[in-house]
Amino acid sequence: MLGRARTIRATQALVDAVAILHQVADRDRQALEQRRADDLKQLRAGFAEEAGDLYEDHAAETSRRRTALNDAVTTFSTPQHDGGPFDVAEYVRLGQATLDTDLPDRAASPTIPVWAPLLDHGNLVLTGSWSDTVAGLIRSMVHQTLTDSGPGQVRIRSVDPSVRSALAAFSPLADVRDDLLTPPATSEHEVEEMLQGLLADVRATVDMFQGRRSTLGQLRRETGQPIGTYQLLVVTDFPAGFSRRATEGLLNVMRAGPAVGVSTIVHVDPAFRSTPGTPAVDTLASQAETIAVTDQGVRTGWLPGWTMTPDPEPDLTTTADLAEKARGAQAPQIDFLDCQPNVDLLSDVSTHRLTATIGRAGQRPVTLTLGDEIDQRHNILVSGAVGQGKSNLLMVLIHSLAMRYPPSELEMHLLDFKEGVTLEPLGARSSPPSWLPHAVSIGLNSDRTYGASVLSHLVAEFERRATLMRGHGDNITKYRLADPSHRMPRILVVIDEFQVLFDADDDTSERALADLERLARKGRAYGIHLVLASQTLSGITSMLTKQDGIFAQFPIRLALKNSAAESRAVLDQNNTAAARLRYRGELLVNLDFGDVESNRRATVCWAQDRQLAQLRQRLCDHSGADHSRRPTTFDGAHAPSLAEAHQKLSGIRRSPDSTAARSALLGTTVDVRSEPVGFALTADNGRHLAVVGAGAPRSGSGISEADNQAVGALQAAALSLAAQHGGDGAQIVIVDLLPETTSTACNMNEFTNILGTSGVTVTRYDNKNVDDYLISLNDMIESRQPDDAPVYVVAFGLDRVRKFRHLDMARGATVTPADGVHALLRDGPPVGAHLLAWWSSLRVMNEHLGLEASGTVDGILALRVTSNDAQDLFGPFTVWKPDGPRGLLHDRVESSEPSVIVPFRPLMTAQIDTVRQMVEQL
């Protein structure tokens, strides 16, 4: 029992010891666990702190990089354009792209602008169902292409089988030029036709590259000229409307087009199925950059991982501004002298031909050759709308020829039926000489009578040459080669706005047309070449019967920008290329009668007025130009002044003892020579002159009394008579019955004083004493002898005598003023007394002359008279409609028909001292 108890006690003690050990182990375990928990908590706290620091550092770095990227985007340099013809939309902006990222803050993702390469670089394929987004992208790209390219430099073509009308907002461009925005192709046939036309344009531009690997933009920059044409083709809803042939054509355009200025934007709509056998859409995409429009957004093929937000559509109302800029576009200027060949001044000969350089086509000069026996091109036809550079082209042509050929090799007749501003500087100038020494005649504001006279003169000249050439060949080249001593310069005839010659259906038009046709057909053999220029050739009614016959002699056609109708008129019925020229100064050169296959584009060089004036001065110096070589200048809108009559007055100056008849100078002829014309005052009965009609038009015409033709003609007559007499005792009696305003405007006081310095005796009467003087004429005529010094009664406004037939009984008068005038008219010439008088009214003149002096006046100068009055004076077939300073002069003894003259202007205030010095020198 004891042993069992001990065993129990020992066991209990062991149990207790084990329990104590468990308690200790539990306490230690708990302590360890608490310690582990505390350590883990501390570790976790430290890790969280470090992780927070790391996250904050990462966020800060991300923010810094995003800020830097956005700053870079903000300062991104977009293409700069100055609005010139060399601008081209190489890239167009589509919108902004945001980087796809899993970051919690999506707004913090970086954004960049999206630019798509286009002109000179490539094409774009836009995929997706038609939507506002697709339409907006297309319009935005087209708008940028137009705004970022030179005005009028890009043509827009479109294929729109579903009639989306996405480009309707750009329609104002078609109003400027129909090729800037052509009607969309909608059928398969139209699509095929459009693509074939584009391929033809591509081939033509490739030929222009002459084998060089380049782009159109590079070629333009190298040549300094906007050669070629940029075109943008916009296709919607592909493959709708596309046959297999059309799709292949589209691929060819996309492959070859961008380098030569033809880029394409193709919208591919998956809703449309392609025609079996046509190339897959992927094939199109291989020739372009791609843009995909889906429900998830817009993505581009060249920015994977970025989603694009398109920019807002531009303000399409500005399209009208684009159209106006295209309308006023100008070519870059090519300096005239830089364009000319490096040859010595006035060193060439015209035996075989004439050659002029007028511009450049790319880097190649554009030259025109006239008269060559091989090419057989002798005449030039020029056309261009208002403001497109026609005047500059003519000046370039004229001066290019003038630089190469001396006046002994080339003469010119230049006519301008417009304002005459262009040719005016080419006329005679004083010092230093700067006129055109080659010019024989220059017509400014030419009227039809003068133009017809020039053509008549030229016909007479080629008939003279034909006589000279007999036995020496049948053309000018053979004639000059047969004997190098033969002097026969070629003749260039330039007529600007030549259609004015044929405005009316009358004798002048008929005569001019016959002469023009004769010169065009036969003048070339005798070295006469025509340059006819006009803003409009269509609708010249009087030329309809002969137009083709005349123009068939003009193989060289130069067309500046114009309408389609005028393009057909100047070129060919199938050639409207002039309507598609883009800017002022761009020229279509055609050397084959306007055939469309012979079109060649060029840019006319720019001739500055000051530069040309300096050139003409050099030409005058080299050619020894002096007063004897001055061109005759006819200004149809202005009468010659008395100061301009110096040479003419000097020509009639003679010794006082000469017995030749004196001539009263009245004006100049309306012809090439513009020679002085007058009325001879011989001792034969009837040698008096009557000036009839209004000297100036009614108020409101813009012509003042200072331009009174009647006063000017009689002042010139008096000066010329004084010049022919000098100190031989001749007397000039001035009867001034003019209204005070007219007398003052025409400087009658100064004129009378100047006349008194010429050596003749001058007496002046006015309204206060004119009656007594006229009455005294009766006794004066009775007392004169044939060898007495001449007396010239020059009466201004004789119809203002109030008592012409009044017998003043109160003063014991036995004769009237009429009696004195009649005595002078009947019996004056044999005793050296002559009357030169102005009546503003034909009725009053007839009343003054009456039966007593009927038939005693041989000379009539009609001014502004009615058609009926003109027929009463000159016969029932007389047609007289004066336009400008013109008079109808008839000497009944010398000719059966009256002739048109330009009466001199009255003495101008600004020229009083000049005329006084001129008279003193005579």
Q: Does pLDDT of 415 surpass 90?
A: yes
Instruction: Tell me which of 85-89, 129-133, 792-796 is least confident.
Output: 85-89
Annotated binding site: 384-391
> 164 with 237: CB under 8 angstroms?
yes
Sheet strands (E) in 429-539: 439-444, 490-496, 528-534
Q: Each residue of 355-378: pLDDT tens digit?
A: 999 999 877 899 999 998 888 899
Give the model's pLDDT for residue 108.
60
User: What is the per-residue pLDDT for 542?
Assistant: 55
Mean pLDDT of 887-902: 92
More confident residue, 916 or 44: 916
Reduced to 3 states (helix: H, G, I; strand: E, B; else coil), residue 491 is: strand
pLDDT surpassing 70 at residue 345: yes
pLDDT at 281 over 50: yes
Instruction: State yes or no: pLDDT of 2 exceeds 70.
Output: no
Please report, rounded to a whole number, the percentage of residues in the chain having pLDDT higher than 70: 85
- Segment 526-551 mean pLDDT: 77
Residue 93 has pLDDT above 60, yes or no: yes
DSSP assignment string, 156-191:
EEEE-TT---TTGGGTHHHHH-TTTBPPPB-SHHHH
pLDDT of residue 723: 86
What are residue 124's phi and psi, to 5 degrees? -130, 135
- Compute the mean pLDDT over every residue in the chain, rounded to the nearest whole number: 85
Span of 57-61, 731-735, 755-759 with lowest mean pLDDT: 57-61
Neighbours of 95 (CB within 10 A): 18
Eight-class DSSP state of 790:
P
Structure tokens at 467: 């006589």
Q: Is the pLDDT of residue 76 over 90?
A: no
**Binding-site entries for ATP:** 384-391
DSSP summary character for residue 435: S
State the virtual CA torsion across 28, 33, 35, 38 in degrees, nearest 10: -160
Residues 6 or more apart in contact with residue 375 via CB below 8 angstroms:
369
875: which 2 tokens? 């016969």
Nearest to 673 by CA among 350, 441, 413, 349: 441
Spatial distance between the Cα atoms of 394 and 375, rounded to a whole number of angstroms: 22
The whole-number pLDDT of residue 206 equals: 83
Determine the pLDDT at residue 774: 93
Helix, strand, or coil here: 767? Answer: coil
C-alpha span between 800 and 742 (Å, rounded): 13
Q: Rounded mean pLDDT of 423-450?
A: 84
Say whether pLDDT at 647 is over 70: no
pLDDT of 10 higher than 80: no
Q: Looking at residues 21-39, what average pLDDT do you find? A: 70
Residue 8 pLDDT greater than 80, yes or no: no
Pick from 789, 731, 791: which is nearest to 755 by CA? 731
Q: What is the pLDDT of residue 77?
A: 46
For residue 713, pLDDT over 90 is answered with: yes
Question: What pLDDT sits at residue 539?
Answer: 59
Is-contact 652 889, C-beta < 8 A? no
Distance CA(671)–CA(673), nearest Å, equals: 6
Cis check: omega of the bond before 432, within 30 degrees of 0: yes
DSSP state of 640: P
Residue 809 is predicted with a pLDDT of: 62
- Predicted confidence (pLDDT) at residue 319 exceeds the cutoff of 80: yes
- CA-based torsion, 364, 369, 374, 379: positive or negative: positive
The pLDDT of 710-732, averaged and rounded, is 90
**Whole-number pLDDT of residue 698:** 65
| Residue-range domains of the chain with CATH | 91-327 (3.40.50.300), 336-629 (3.40.50.300), 666-921 (3.40.50.300)
Could you report the per-residue pLDDT of 617-638, keeping only the tens digit for each?
Answer: 999 988 776 555 788 888 888 8
Report pLDDT for 64. 55
Do strands 306-310 and 91-99 pair parallel, antiparallel, or not at all (unpaired)?
Answer: antiparallel
The pLDDT score that the predictor gives to residue 61 is 54
Two tokens, residue 691: 């000036």
Most confident of 399-413, 641-655, 879-893, 899-913: 399-413
Q: State the Cα–Cα distance between residues 313 and 135, nearest whole angstrom.
A: 10
Q: Name every residue whose Cβ is closer than 8 Å to that of residue 439 and which is 6 or more positions away in sequence.
A: 411, 412, 413, 414, 426, 427, 631
Whole-number pLDDT of residue 902: 93
Q: What is the pLDDT of residue 811?
A: 59
What pLDDT is attached to residue 448? Answer: 85
pLDDT greater at residue 16 or residue 436: 436
Segment 172-191 shows an average pLDDT of 90
Lowest mean pLDDT among 38-42, 307-311, 673-677: 38-42
Q: Which range, 213-227, 327-341, 679-693, is most confident?
A: 679-693
**What Rg value do the Cα atoms of the chain yield, rounded?**
46
pLDDT given at position 238: 93
Q: Which residue has the higher pLDDT, 39 or 904?
A: 904
pLDDT at 185 over 90: yes
pLDDT band per the 50, 70, 90 thresholds, residue 445 = confident
Specify which of 61-75, 698-712, 716-730 reaches the highest per-range mean pLDDT: 716-730
Report which of residues 778 and 277 the model is more confident about. 778
Top mean pLDDT of 42-51, 96-105, 812-821 is at 812-821
Minimum mean pLDDT among 488-502, 539-553, 671-685, 848-862: which range?
539-553
Q: Which of 431-435, 524-528, 841-845, 914-918 has the lowest mean pLDDT?
A: 431-435
- pLDDT band, residue 81 (cuts 50/70/90): low
Dist. CA 348–CA 755, nearest whole Å: 50
What is the structure's pLDDT at 72? 43
Q: Is it the case that residue 479 has pLDDT exceeding 60?
A: yes
- Using DSSP bridges, classify how beta strands 364-370 and 354-361 pair: parallel, antiparallel or unpaired: antiparallel
Q: What are phi and psi of 701, to 5 degrees?
A: -85, -15
Confidence band of 901 (pLDDT split at 50, 70, 90) = very high
Kindly state the DSSP code that residue 225 receives in the 8-state scheme.
S
More confident residue, 306 or 502: 306
Residue 398 has pLDDT above 60, yes or no: yes
Question: Taking 50 as the threshold, does the pLDDT of residue 793 lie above it?
Answer: yes
Cα–Cα distances in angstroms (integers) from residue 193 to residues 166, 186, 190, 199, in the given order: 21, 11, 5, 10
What value does the mean pLDDT take over residues 753-765?
91
pLDDT category at 74 given cuts 50, 70, 90 is very low
Is residue 762 within 8 Å of residue 755, measured between CB atoms?
yes
Could you tell me the strand order of the sheet in which 676-681 lies? 676-681, 662-669, 899-903, 887-891, 859-862, 689-692, 833-839, 791-796, 731-736, 761-765
Tell me the whole-structure pTM to 2 decimals: 0.76
Does the structure show a pLDDT above 60 at 19? no
* 430-434, 745-749, 884-888, range with the lowest pLDDT: 430-434
